[in-house]
């Protein structure tokens, strides 16, 4: 199911690692290596190493876009934490990872739970600096 959902997310325009191989015998998936940092690490470095408000706003906008595309396409991630979002070193592009709990759904409550998990993750990190939560409103412009 993880491979299927990640492939669907990619078709919806959500940046995900490339899936290289599915081994049904060993029950393993082989994905592209994402050379970057988890969003969690970047948020924790706010004010250091070039992590400024502009960069946080860009990341928040990318998160909102990605989640909006997922939900508009009938896909629920299931574990939207800052550790399951990476930022590529090469181009600062967001990549969503770990679709192990993802599923398809058109039920608004399922999507709301996805957003609630994300909100709790942000609040627990005290990451409202840089107005990250407000920037996530980009979600609404991607969701039809």
pLDDT > 70: percent of the chain: 86
Q: Which residue has the tokens 């599923």?
A: 103
Q: Which has more pLDDT, 138 or 82?
A: 82
Catalytic residue among 41, 58, 72, 79: 79
Arithmetic mean of pLDDT, 103-132: 81
Among 81, 92, 90, smallest CA distance to 123 is for: 81
pLDDT for res 42: 87
**What is the per-residue pLDDT for 128?**
46
DSSP-derived secondary structure letter, 84: G
pLDDT at residue 55, rounded to an integer:
85
Mean pLDDT of 34-45: 90
Please report the pLDDT score of residue 119 as a whole number: 87
Q: Compute the mean pLDDT over every residue in the chain, rounded to the nearest whole number.
A: 88
The residue-averaged pLDDT of 113-127 equals 82
Domains of the chain and CATH, by start? 2-142 (1.10.510.10)
Q: What is the pLDDT of residue 141?
A: 60
Q: How much is the pLDDT for 130? A: 46
Q: Is 29 helix (H, G, I), strand (E, B) or coil?
A: strand
| Per-residue model confidence (pLDDT) at position 27 | 93
Q: Give the Cα separation of 54 and 21 in Å (integer).
A: 37
Confidence of residue 142 (pLDDT cuts 50, 70, 90): low
- Cα dihedral angle (112, 114, 115, 119), rounded to 10 degrees? 130
79 as an active site residue: the answer is yes
For residues 68-89, give the mean pLDDT: 96
Position 9 scores a pLDDT of 98
Q: Exposed (0-12), middle (13-18) or buried (19+): which is 87, by Cβ within 10 Å?
A: buried
Q: Average pLDDT in the 123-137 region? A: 57
Residues 6+ apart with CB under 8 A from 11: 73
- Mean of pLDDT values over 88-106: 97
């Amino acid at each position: 199911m993880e491979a299927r959902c990640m492939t669907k997310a990619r078709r919806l325009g959500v940046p995900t690692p490339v899936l290289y191989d599915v081994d049904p015998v060993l029950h393993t998936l082989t994905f592209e290596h994402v050379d970057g940092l988890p969003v969690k690490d970047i948020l924790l470095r706010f004010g250091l190493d070039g992590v400024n408000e502009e960069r946080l706003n860009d990341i928040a906008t990318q998160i909102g876009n990605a989640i909006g595309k997922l939900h508009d396409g009938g896909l629920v991630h299931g574990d939207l934490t800052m550790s399951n979002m990476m930022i590529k070193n090469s181009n600062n592009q967001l990549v969503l990872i770990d679709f192990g709990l993802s599923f398809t759904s058109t039920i608004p409550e399922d999507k709301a739970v996805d957003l609630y998990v994300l909100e709790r993750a942000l609040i627990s990190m005290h990451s409202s600096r840089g107005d990250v939560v407000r920037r996530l409103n980009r979600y609404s412009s991607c969701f039809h």
